[in-house]
Amino acid sequence: MSVGGSTLVSVISPADATRAPDGYGRRPLARLALADSEPARLDRAGRERAGLELAGRERAGLELAGRERAEVELAEIEFAVVDLETTGWSPEAAAITEIGAVRVRGGRRQGEFASLVNPGTAVPPSIEDLTGISDWMLASAPRVASVLPGLLTFARGCVLVAHNAPFDLGFLRAACDDCGLAWPGFTVLDTVMLARQVMDPDEVPDCKLGTLAGFFGARTAPSHRALADARATADVLGWLIRRLAHRGVRTLRELSAWPEVVA
């Protein structure tokens, strides 16, 4: 576990995986300009070399692992559920302010990753009202170039999961491009699209995360904070996988019959 400024990055052992990190992101800070912190001043060529080396080591193994994983039952697959908070709605015009991720297998949390991210720009008032994340909280947070390698390592070997995956994946891919990091080519599962396949219209009015978390009684209520929303999504995923089993869908290969769900 490392703490820098207002940012907490934690990888939690399975024994502690259900405990939330107290005080996460709440340490008082002096108000500072949103600018590059020293750890983020990385040589771009060095980042590109690191990204290419990581991709080179993993790409060959990913294809084989992907084929083997396709035959494993969903209840046995390890998922990395990720959620982002951002300064806006498009990666072309906005930046990441917070990353949260949960590794989960068989409904049990295996570990967690969380970090605030200094976006290098002011947080719009409407976004601060929505998320509670302010410029003051982000002033001493690391830049995304310092956070992304840790996230990619944390999620290595997992199926990546997000609620409305195109949003989160769009920002993550754009950030990797900006940092000179190769995108590892995760298999991605979108819980919004999965819910639309397995939920009956008379059960829920929509497939928003808050709606599904309330319906299934998720252990964590979504709150427009990255780790809380990742935890809620992980719980929703577990219930959706149970529903798939009742339909006779038990592996990624079978689930791939719905290409909008798994890509």
Cβ contact 82:100 at 8 Å: yes
What would you report as the CA-atom Rg of the chain, rounded to the nearest whole angstrom? 18
10-residue averages of pLDDT along the chain (263 residues): 37 39 31 36 47 46 54 91 97 96 95 97 96 96 96 96 97 95 93 96 95 97 97 97 94 90 90
Cβ contact 98:85 at 8 Å: yes
Which of 189, 221, 14 has the alpha carbon at shortest distance from 112?
A: 14
Residue 24, classed as helix, strand or coil, is coil
Q: What pLDDT does residue 171 have?
A: 97
Q: What pLDDT does residue 69 have?
A: 63
Q: What pLDDT does residue 72 have?
A: 86
Q: What pLDDT does residue 65 have?
A: 55
Q: What pLDDT does residue 230 have?
A: 98
Q: Alpha carbon of 50 to those of 149, 166, 216: distances in Å?
A: 9, 26, 41
pTM over the 0.75 mark:
yes
